[in-house]
Amino acid sequence: MVLAVLRHDPRLADLGGGMGVSASTVRRWVLEVIGLLAARAARLGRVLRRLVARGGAVVLVDGTLIRTRRRTGRANRANYSGKHKQHGLLALALTDEDGRLLWVSAVLPGRTADITAARRLRIRERLHAHGLTPAGDKGFHGWHKDVRDSRDCRQCGGRCEQVVLTPYKAEAKRPLTKAQKQANAAFSAMRCAVEGGFAALKNWRILDKLRLHPRHATTLLRALLVLTQHEQNVRDTTRPDPA
């Protein structure tokens, strides 16, 4: 029943009525199960160590907005996203170059920009500590400027030599050259894998518009991350060998 709620997001009263249970009981079951699943989500440090052991070098970083209901009160004003023109919660996700979800952050207010969330969570520093390179879209275009301030880096033994991959961005009087446009096309082809990771996560329709209280959003995302990774592992083991 909980999986049906997460996958299809039906009304709890309609789902529980067919089973002879109340909507409050179904809601309690959902909160208990997502708490147990979220406890199985790997922390970022362990995820990065596993990726390095597999020979990974680049981590795709992106943010997404989880829509929520508009609630009354001043506390909900921070959840309004001017970019998307709706209320929601921001979550950052890391994927490998194949688009497999590795980690999902705790939710932040919807008005938070992607690059601000990455800086607040110290994503670049944690990736650099494991020798990994972050790759983001134009929303992370100013992220590379943080490296210039890291002149005393413990990993580099002096001036920081980490590279942050972002596409070229045209300016008012400096249009992109043909080579820069080709580089952006190649970069977009590499980064499109992260959209597949978000699509797999949002295949759980409970994220179409979050009806739970926002305080449960982080637990829900981590639970869905565990379920999505389980689906990906099952798909990989049942895929026929190309040879």
Model confidence at 69: pLDDT above 60: yes
Domain enclosing residue 60, as ranges = 43-207
- Confidence band, pLDDT 50/70/90 cuts, at residue 242: low
- Confidence band, pLDDT 50/70/90 cuts, at residue 112: very high
Residue 12, SS3 per DSSP: helix
Model confidence at 96: pLDDT above 70: yes
Residue 168 domain flag: yes
Q: Read off the pLDDT of each residue in 159-181 and give the average, rounded to a whole number.
A: 86
Distance (Å, rounded) from C-alpha 75 to C-alpha 234? 41
User: Using an 8 Å Cβ cutoff, are 38 and 226 in contact?
Assistant: yes
Distance (Å, rounded) from C-alpha 28 to C-alpha 231? 25
**What is the Cα gyration radius of the chain?**
20
Mean of pLDDT over the chain = 89
- pLDDT on residue 63: 93
- The amino acid at residue 88 is G
Residue 231 domain flag: no
- Tell me the pLDDT tens digit for each residue of 216-228: 999 999 999 999 9
Between residues 174 and 236, the one the model is more confident about: 174
Q: Please give the share of the chain, as a percent, with pLDDT higher than 70.
A: 96
- pLDDT on residue 3: 93
Model confidence at 46: pLDDT above 90: yes
* Of 81, 85, 27, the residue nearest 211 (C-alpha): 27
Distance (Å, rounded) from C-alpha 209 to C-alpha 225? 17
- pLDDT on residue 181: 92
Question: Torsion angle of alpha carbons 236, 237, 240, 241, nearest 10°?
Answer: 90
User: Using an 8 Å Cβ cutoff, are 92 and 123 in contact?
Assistant: yes
Phi-psi label, residue 24: left if phi above 0, alpha if psi -120 to 50, beta otherwise = alpha
Residue 213 domain flag: no
- The amino acid at residue 133 is T
Q: Maximum distance among all alpha carbons in the chain?
A: 67
Residue 215 domain flag: no
Model confidence at 159: pLDDT above 80: no
- Confidence band, pLDDT 50/70/90 cuts, at residue 72: confident
- Confidence band, pLDDT 50/70/90 cuts, at residue 148: low
User: Using an 8 Å Cβ cutoff, are 90 and 100 in contact?
Assistant: no
Residue 224 domain flag: no
- Tell me the pLDDT tens digit for each residue of 186-200: 989 888 888 888 899
How many domains are contained in the chain?
A: 1
Model confidence at 149: pLDDT above 70: no
Residue 120 domain flag: yes
- pLDDT on residue 238: 74
Model confidence at 36: pLDDT above 90: yes
